[in-house]
Amino acid sequence: MTSRRVLTALSLLLLVTLPVLGQQSPPPAPSPSAGPEVLVLGTYHMSNPGRDIFNTEADDVLAPRRQAEIERVIAVLQQFRPTKIAVEADVNNDRVGARYAEYVSGEHELTRNETEQLGFRLAKMLGHETVYPVDTDGEFPFPRLVKYAKATGREAEIDALMEEGGKDSEALSAYLASHTILETLLHMNSDEYAAAGVGGYFRMAELGEPWDWAGADLVADWFRRNMRIYTNIVQLVDSPDERVLVIYGAGHLGWLQYAFANNPNFRLRKLGELAR
């Protein structure tokens, strides 16, 4: 058979089969997987420890108005019925569990930290024996990125990213000042906010070149840390009925959500589902 006849035959075959394929019913959408559920709650640092590059200036969560707002946040989170609560503290930090036990017994007064204001309060309300630190430290070679930018005449790009981050931090501070804590957390846990947080890192990854991937290496190290946190969370799961609430700085939100959303053994939940 000549090449022309082969092409003609293939064309006729497509004309015959495409309408048939078009008439087929689309495959059914996959149903939400049964099994462990994880809700990652991205927060601002209520005690403002100053560890982030772009940090939000937090107001006083111990003020009576803010305490009432935190009670509302706790009521919303309670709807998730978490069986375990994971918090942003070093995975080897035994002091977190000890402080929680002291809080339950009345020997410890809550600090401003979100681990205690949200994690301890909700855990005690639900009768949990402890809370679970899952954090791990990691490399964040930002000075190397700055050095690369200076050496290649791309300082303006770094400056623009820094300026943009500072404005975002100021905007979040202003939002918090004029909204409740729950409203602020809903804003911070929106899909758009989480995506923007991840997107900022990928913009840093643009700074680099073959054999000096300064930005890409920074993002890879950040991803490595978040994957280690993810593994620490996964190891808390003991049964298919587990529901783990993860309370973490919002800079980790999109990365951790991505990890659980792509694990078919887990069902990712979000704050917005509970506050409708």
Whether residue 31 is predicted with pLDDT greater than 70 in this model: the reply is no
For residue 27, is it within any domain?
no
CA distance 245 to 269: 9
pLDDT at 38: 98
For residue 198, is it within any domain?
yes
Q: Residue type for 129, please?
A: E
Are the C-beta atoms of residues 271 and 182 closer than 8 Å to each other?
A: no
CA distance 132 to 261: 21
Whether residue 253 is predicted with pLDDT greater than 80 in this model: the reply is yes
Tokens linked to 176: 């918090």
Sheet of 84-90, strands arranged across: 132-135, 84-90, 243-249, 37-43, 267-269
Sequence-distant (≥ 6) Cβ neighbours of residue 256 within 8 angstroms: 40, 226, 229, 230, 233, 246, 248
pLDDT at 275: 84
Instruction: Give the pLDDT band (50/70/90) at residue 59.
Output: confident
For residue 100, is it within any domain?
yes
For residue 47, is it within any domain?
yes
Instruction: Report how many domains make up the chain.
Output: 1
For residue 20, is it within any domain?
no
CA distance 124 to 73: 15
CA distance 66 to 71: 9
For residue 3, is it within any domain?
no
* Mean pLDDT in residue range 138-160: 94
Domain that holds residue 191: 34-276
For residue 74, is it within any domain?
yes
For residue 274, is it within any domain?
yes
pLDDT at 47: 87
